[in-house]
């Protein structure tokens, strides 16, 4: 079953003053060590299920890409929500992180990375045309392009709630 495609043009309305964008991924540097790669990769679905069941943890949405280097883009309410999840002893992050640092970090077999950005709403511009729900619009709210949002310049920092 395919995803619903939204005809026309849309933008995202984050509905808050800023959005925290967290990019995370891993790279199989020695792809033939598939067991180690699979062990590290297996931790992420547990984390995502936990976050989906616990919206108060603050993750708004996620998009993923897979290959030798994986990447996941996640959207969060705030950097504090992200840090709290990462440090929460009851959440499924600390144990896999500690295992990686003890057993795999520095081996060269697998690389992991992340980048965190706190983006003010005034610095956000999005457009989606002929797309299923995706990215920030999927994580927050998708709104039709309309008066005052036809150009990228107009959309930069525009919030439907402020219109």
Total domain count, the chain: 1
Place of tokens 């994986």: 70
List, for residues 34-65, the tens digit of each pLDDT value: 888 888 888 889 999 999 999 999 999 999 99
CATH number for position 155: 3.30.70.100
- Decide if 120 contacts 129 (C-beta within 8 A): no
> Among 62, 63, 64, 66, which residue's Cα sits nearest to residue 28?
66
Residue range(s) defining the domain that contains residue 67? 1-163
Q: How far is CA 130 from the centre of its chain?
A: 21
pLDDT band at 162 (very low <50, low <70, confident <90, very high): very low
What kind and span of H or E run contains 104? Answer: none
pLDDT band at 102 (very low <50, low <70, confident <90, very high): confident
> Among 159, 162, 163, which residue's Cα sits nearest to residue 19?
159
List, for residues 123-147, the tens digit of each pLDDT value: 999 999 999 999 999 999 999 999 9
């Amino acid at each position: 079953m395919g995803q619903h495609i939204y005809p026309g043009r849309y933008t995202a309305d984050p509905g808050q003053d800023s959005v925290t964008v967290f990019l995370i991924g891993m790279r199989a540097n020695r792809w033939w060590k598939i067991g180690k790669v699979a062990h590290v990769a297996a931790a992420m679905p547990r984390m995502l299920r936990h976050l989906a069941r616990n919206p108060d943890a603050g993750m708004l949405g996620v998009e993923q890409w897979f290959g030798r280097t994986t990447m996941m883009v996640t959207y969060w309410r705030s950097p504090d929500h992200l840090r709290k999840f990462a440090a929460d002893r009851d959440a499924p992050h600390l144990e896999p992180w500690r295992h990686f640092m003890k057993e795999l970090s520095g081996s060269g077999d697998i690389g992991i990375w992340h980048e965190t950005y706190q983006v003010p709403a005034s610095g956000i511009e999005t457009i989606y045309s002929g797309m299923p729900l995706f990215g920030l619009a999927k994580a927050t709210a998708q709104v039709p392009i309309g008066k005052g949002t036809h150009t990228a310049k107009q959309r930069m920092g525009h919030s439907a709630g402020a219109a």
